[in-house]
Structure 1
Amino acid sequence: MSRVIKSSVVAMFLAATLSTAALARPASPEWTGERLAGACAGREGWSDPAPPAHIYGTTWYVGTCGIAAILVTSQEGHVLIDGGPADAAPLILANIRKLGFDPADVRWILTSHEHFDHIGGVAQLQRKTGARVAALAAAKRVLETGKPSTDDPQAARLDGSSPVPVARVLADGDSVTLGPLAITVHETPAHSPGSASWTWQACDEKFACRMIAYADSATTISADGYRFTDHPDRVARVHTGHARIAVLPCDVLVTPHPSASEFFARLSGKGALVDAGACRSYARSAEEKFAARLAGEAGSTGE
């Protein structure tokens, strides 16, 4: 490669890096983890208003006290992950504006799992932002029909949601890109058939880069009367989901239910925010609880 070409490649790389870093501005003292944790102390309602907060680099918390919504910013537009329940959509939009970003610059909306407390606001958010929605195939069916999947162990206890068109169907390992920003999907079907975890690199104003892992819920909740041991295929998928979460590139762990990973405490400095072993520990705990459930089912009659 000639020196001229090498110089051009380096210049393009630096331009992309600087483009990303330009939005990794130091967070205002107003939008700290301490403020978020304080505002939500004793409040975990799915629609309890929360202030926005800076997570790391180009990544921001714009959800409620009980349900996460994550904004990842870039010079080419922004990506929003999860929409909370339907009545949380205005709160998410307000938080995006409070941070100084324009909701009209959201280009993609992604989701963790296809339950109404995380996708209920997506249709309204899609209309307000004009963004496109991308999802795994299993989640697409629920997003577009608004009806819970019959394959979901929680189906009998789930509410529906407003249908929303899915512009792009993703497969495990696909990425949604905006300029230098790439957010990769990992199919992690522990909590629901369409569960998705997401990873991306975020760099701060000093160009210190970390991998953010938005690891989906890993609990194995079900409707009354459902027995996992009667559904060996679902049991296998749960194990697969846990195994994939354990090996996510994971410097900073964020979860759809913040309390599931003590996220607010860690963001406020009461614990390690940066922990490369966090996803592994998160998955191991879920797998141990699932093993206990299977053992309990095996020791019962199911009646």
Structure 2
Amino acid sequence: MPGRGRRRRRVRTAIIAGGLAMLLATGGTAAWAVDRFLIEHVEISDVSAYEAENSTTSSAASDSTSDDTAAVTTATSYTDGDSTISLTKVTSGSGSDTVTSYVADVVVDDATQIRSAFAKDQFGENITETTSEIAADNEAIFAINGDYCGFRTTGIEIRNGVVYRDDGAREGLAFYTDGHVEVYDETATTADDLVAAGVWNTLSFGPAIVEDGSVVDGIEDVEVDTNVGNHSIQGDQPRTAVGIIDDNHYVFVVVDGRDEGYSRGVTLSELADIMTGLGATTAYNLDGGGSSTMYFNGEVVNQPSNGGERGTSDILYVAG
């Protein structure tokens, strides 16, 4: 069969599977664990149709680092009218202290060109595909993994101008149709109010690591969903972050990790330093670890820490 039917679907990571094995051994929690972490719970079975029916906003068609010792290699670039994507690989340090990151400097002429897509074109829990599969399905020229909204049931999720979830729980990031972004308290507003104010996309993970051009204090103490199947985000880790330099001028960063000699990963503070060094005035941490993936022009450009891509629920992308 053509299209998605021929794509191989992948399940959750071995880490979560291992955690489930321990849960299953307890007996009483077996049914809960399987339901919570393995069974797909589809809330919206056709995201494309849902967005077409509910959208109130018309979508558009369609280099350096602060470390003086860093080696910077410009990999490639893409231009479409007034929109440009410049991809750079940055390597700093040496030996066990080596850090390798990938930086995409993205300028668009319409903020709605920064889009979101879900695995299998469905919204719900435990629905996953790799970043590259979701990107290919949506004809993306560039993509990164998103906030893994399918792992949780809370948060405000607005994607491409349409509300998918309205259960404020944490510090979110809002992308507006005029090209600016804002960090906000999900518990102090509603999804409908955000859409009315011009919000195009939201992300619900965090924390915010840069605000007003400065590194946010206390980010090393933040815990994000440290429940079964997830863990602390402290220490040296693979990372994904998004930031804004100016209206309609974004910077996306993926830092590889857990691979001594190639890239150890970075702390949240180091990630924030990378973002400020790139000129970001606001920056936000996204799902990292094995999820951290950057896709450009038909291929994955970084080296995900699992030895290959891990399935995720959603991506941010720019269509080709």
TM-score, length basis structure 2: 0.34
- The structure where strand makes up a greater share of residues is 2
Bigger Cα Rg: 1
Q: Does 1 or 2 have the higher relative contact order (CA < 8 Å, sep 6+)? A: 2
TM-score, length basis structure 1: 0.35
